[in-house]
Amino acid sequence: MVDWNLAFLISGAGYGITILVLIIVSMCIWLISAVLQRSKQGSKG
Amino acid sequence: MFGLYESALGQLAWGSVAMLFIGGVLIYLGIVRKMEPLLLVPIGFGIFMVNLPMAGIMTYTPEGLPAIGGLKEIAEGTIGILNLLYYYGLESELIPLLIFLGVGTLMDFSPTIARPISLVFGATAQLGIFVVFLIAYLSGMFTINEAASIGIIGGSDGPPTVYLTIALAPVLLGPITMIAYSYMALVPILQPPVIRLLTTQKERKIFMKPQVRKVSKLELVLFPIVVFIVATLLVPKCSPLVGMLMFGNLLRVSGVTDRLAHAGSIMNDILILLLGISVGSLMPAQVFFSPRTLVIIGLAIVAFIVSTAGGLLTAKLINLFLKEKINPIIGAAGVSAIPMAARVAQREGQRANPKNYLLMHALGPNMAGAIGTSLVAGIFMGMLR
């Protein structure tokens, strides 16, 4: 017996979580890079 | 008579002969066409090993799963040497995880760190996985676990595919792994028509400066640590895959563990050899020749096409908000298939504009795709296991 609700829930939520997690990771990486670059510029100045 | 009294010739069924042909085709593609030779040659020979009657190198239960046992069963002749390899290497998930560690030692995440938005393409290019999961499950031909294992072919990443399939649908491990690795080799053929269909000539011509920002060593070291911690906190079941990948990468970038990183890449060769022969031996005729295998072959194409489209369309969407536009072709490289998808982006970009050099830009999403597929495997494991 195919459970349509479960199938759409898993695919929708699964795709959504994948995007959300990688957006969070990309923001962390961007933030760390920005801080490191700023501190590097600060130490040069 | 003459030692032929136990000849297997009389027991050679048509299904086995057809499988021997398929094994031969894989070996041909590997050796002559140079398509994923490190995998297709061992897989092809593994098919020979399991489809010759009475060889006894791998035995099966009536349910179509490899028989399980230890040294005692080998001595008794009830299981073969490849059963042991399957049990200790694949069923334990050891081989795919260690391969991912080795893959991590070979990956350079600099382009991903230089342009963190690459990670978004690596996520949206997983669309094919979920679309094909839906199609496979709603068709009624596959259980929900089998549908997830079929869908993940769309991630174009071997170890997560093997890892998830062993856990959710071990009976399909042979066909799914063979189809996944075969299609990865076909990325240069499958992707260009989708790229040309979904982008205009003007978009493909968009010029991107060849150089990406130079990434510092500290950023390189922090990247695997941050990715592992964040991903594991949010999707705990992805931790074996992401953990191995990131650990391998940390060994590479730390600058003080070169010997370990080198050992990881050497170990990878041994493990790929074991994976190839084990996967080939999971394809006896009775498992491979079923309508379901043909359906999986068709669904895998859909998964690749939709995943490519997912990355491309995201790049086009993001371009609406950017002053300095990116070439949407690099979004298509979000399907992992490293580095073929990035090379396809480079080739297509240069075809539209000979001044374009997209390889480094495309490698960012390409590497991110490996993280994306590992996440999806963890999500499916969390929801279905």
Looking up tokens 């073969």 gives B80
Q: Can you tell me whether residue B66 is helix, strand or coil? A: strand
Choose the mutation target among A6, A19, A22, A24 for the interface with B, i.e. most B CBs under 10 Å: A22
Mean pLDDT for A13-36 is 96
Q: Look at residues B107, B84, B103 and name the one whose alpha carbon lies nearest to residue B38.
A: B103
| Chain A, nearest residue to B218 by Cα | A36
Cβ-proximal residues to B154 (8 Å cutoff; 6+ apart), any chain: B126, B127, B128, B129, B131, B132, B300, B302, B303, B304, B306, B307, B335
The per-residue pLDDT for B306 is 96
Q: Look at residues B156, B121, B140 and name the one whose alpha carbon lies nearest to residue B316.
A: B121
**What distance in Å separates the CA atoms of residue A16 and residue B314, rounded to the nearest whole number?**
14
B135 — contact with chain A (CB < 8 Å)? no
For residue B231, which residues of chain A lie inside 8 Å, CB to CB?
Answer: 21, 25
The per-residue pLDDT for B77 is 83
Which residue ranges in chain B fall short of pLDDT 50? none
Residue type, B240: P
The minimum CA-CA distance between A41 and chain B, rounded to whole Å, is: 13
B226 — contact with chain A (CB < 8 Å)? yes
**What distance in Å separates the CA atoms of residue B243 and residue B233, rounded to the nearest whole number?**
12
Compute CA distances B217 → B113, B206, B257, whole Å. Answer: 11, 31, 14
Name which of A14, A17, A28 is nearest B226 (Cβ-Cβ): A28
- B226–A17 CB contact, under 8 Å: no
The per-residue pLDDT for B5 is 64
CA angle, B329 then B371 then B95, to 5°: 125
**What distance in Å separates the CA atoms of residue B305 and residue B146, rounded to the nearest whole number?**
20
The per-residue pLDDT for B4 is 58
Size of interface A-B (CB pairs under 8 A): 101
Burial class (CB within 10 angstroms; exposed 0-12, middle 13-18, buried 19+) of B3: exposed
Whole-angstrom distance between the N-terminal and C-terminal Cα of chain B? 53
Mean pLDDT for A8-24 is 97
For residue B122, which residues of chain A lie inside 8 Å, CB to CB?
Answer: 22
Q: Which residues pair with B60 in a beta bridge?
A: B66
Percent of chain A with pLDDT over 70: 98
For residue B218, which residues of chain A lie inside 8 Å, CB to CB?
Answer: 36
The per-residue pLDDT for B36 is 78
Q: Do B370 and B354 contact (CB within 8 A), yes or no?
A: no
Q: Do B381 and B237 contact (CB within 8 A), yes or no?
A: yes
Q: Look at residues B98, B76, B100 and name the one whose alpha carbon lies nearest to residue B89.
A: B98
Name which of B117, B230, B384 is nearest A24 (Cβ-Cβ): B230
The per-residue pLDDT for B3 is 57
**What distance in Å separates the CA atoms of residue B47 and residue B108, rounded to the nearest whole number?**
34
- B371–A25 CB contact, under 8 Å: yes
B225 — contact with chain A (CB < 8 Å)? no
- 3-state helix, strand, coil split of chain A in percent (to 5) is 90, 0, 10
- B379–A17 CB contact, under 8 Å: yes
The minimum CA-CA distance between B161 and chain A, rounded to whole Å, is: 16
The per-residue pLDDT for B61 is 84
Q: Look at residues B21, B19, B1 and name the one whose alpha carbon lies nearest to residue B58.
A: B19
The per-residue pLDDT for B6 is 67
- A26–B379 CB contact, under 8 Å: no
Residue B268 tokens read as 């990878």
Confidence of residue A31 (pLDDT cuts 50, 70, 90): very high
The per-residue pLDDT for B54 is 73
Length of chain B: 385
Q: Can you tell me whether residue B191 is helix, strand or coil? A: helix
The per-residue pLDDT for B230 is 97
B235 — contact with chain A (CB < 8 Å)? yes
DSSP codes, B162-187: HHHHHHH-GGGHHHHHHHHHHHHHTH
Tell me the backbone φ, ψ of residue B199, rounded to 5 degrees.
-130, 150
Residue B309 tokens read as 């489209």
